[in-house]
Structure 1
């Protein structure tokens, strides 16, 4: 078995784009994301609500402020590495500002944000794409973590229902 090595920051040009990263890193393997994020509308407020998509049963409600950073992370089912998306609360929307992952493959958007590699992890910042909510099918098998300003203890993902469609939204 051949072990893959990851490029370091010093190996990459300063003006790295996603397209160049794919070429430079040689990562063209297909990636099937079993827990894709889909997005829906929401209301305004100063709380982050975690609820069931269909029944709207609320599982958690935590206070947030404009500028709070919400992280939504999981272990990717194929790559077996952590994927983390970070959103900034902007009133009644969540602004995707950063995403981090270890493997880059097919199906990834190409020309968005500023791409770098930090300690072997691909980091894309300056995305600034607004979402009204984050939707996913929750699974206890992928070690979901939800953070508010770095605190992953406010919403315990292990206590959320398994194999159910959930959403996070300002409300």
Structure 2
């Protein structure tokens, strides 16, 4: 066991197989992702947009600056613990760089990124998997949160439509 610089908690580096045995927890759900491109909305450059997947109604848009971080998190429906995915915004899409969750189990990739346990949470970094959009069915019952560079007030998930297919994507 070792401590990560700047960390106040315990950090343990584990292989995925050891992590699965260590946590002994049930299956976990993942965010569905899909494709789109970055082209700007025609006024003022590229935007990070939260919109309806079918109607394309826009609920929020934020000026896109390459390198800004998008965090999409929710309470897992089975474990009732927070799951957070962090994406780096780039001119050509989003790159998943970090996932943080309480349990690691079935459905999780076995060959992606660096895995460690920190303060009882599973942290996966160095994922670097590109996505052009993040898609999900929005629910007010799972406490969704959307953060831009740590600011969760820019897109208020409570104001988004309940039980509707939404997406976050650069345009």
Q: Report the equivalent of 1:88.
A: 88
> How far apart in 1 are the matches of 2:17 and 2:109?
9
Q: How does 1:141-160 map to 2 (within 5 A)?
A: 141-160=141-160
Q: Report the equivalent of 1:42.
A: 37
Return the match for 1:26 from 21, 24, 27: 24
Deviation at 1:71, TM superposition (A): 0.2
Q: How does 1:58-73 map to 2 (within 5 A)?
A: 58-73=58-73
Q: Report the equivalent of 1:100.
A: 100
TM-score (structure 1 length as normaliser):
0.86
> How far apart in 2 are the matches of 1:79 and 1:131?
26
How many residues align? The count is: 158
Q: Report the equivalent of 1:125.
A: 125
Q: Which has the higher strand share?
A: 2
Q: Structure 2: which 5+ runs fail to align?
A: 1-8, 41-45
Deviation at 1:87, TM superposition (A): 0.1
Q: Report the equivalent of 2:161.
A: 161
Deviation digits for residues 94-143 of structure 1, max 9, x if unmatched? Answer: 00000000011111111110001111110000000000000000000000
Q: Report the equivalent of 1:135.
A: 135
Deviation at 1:9, TM superposition (A): 4.4
Judge conservation of contact 1:17–1:111 (CA < 8 Å) in 2.
no
> How far apart in 1 are the matches of 2:53 and 2:39?
17
Deviation digits for residues 17-61 of structure 1, max 9, x if unmatched? Answer: 22221123333x233x2x732212223343110000000000000
Q: Report the equivalent of 1:17.
A: 15
> How far apart in 1 are the matches of 2:16 and 2:10?
14
> How far apart in 1 are the matches of 2:33 and 2:96?
13
Deviation digits for residues 149-170 of structure 1, max 9, x if unmatched? Answer: 0000000000000000000001
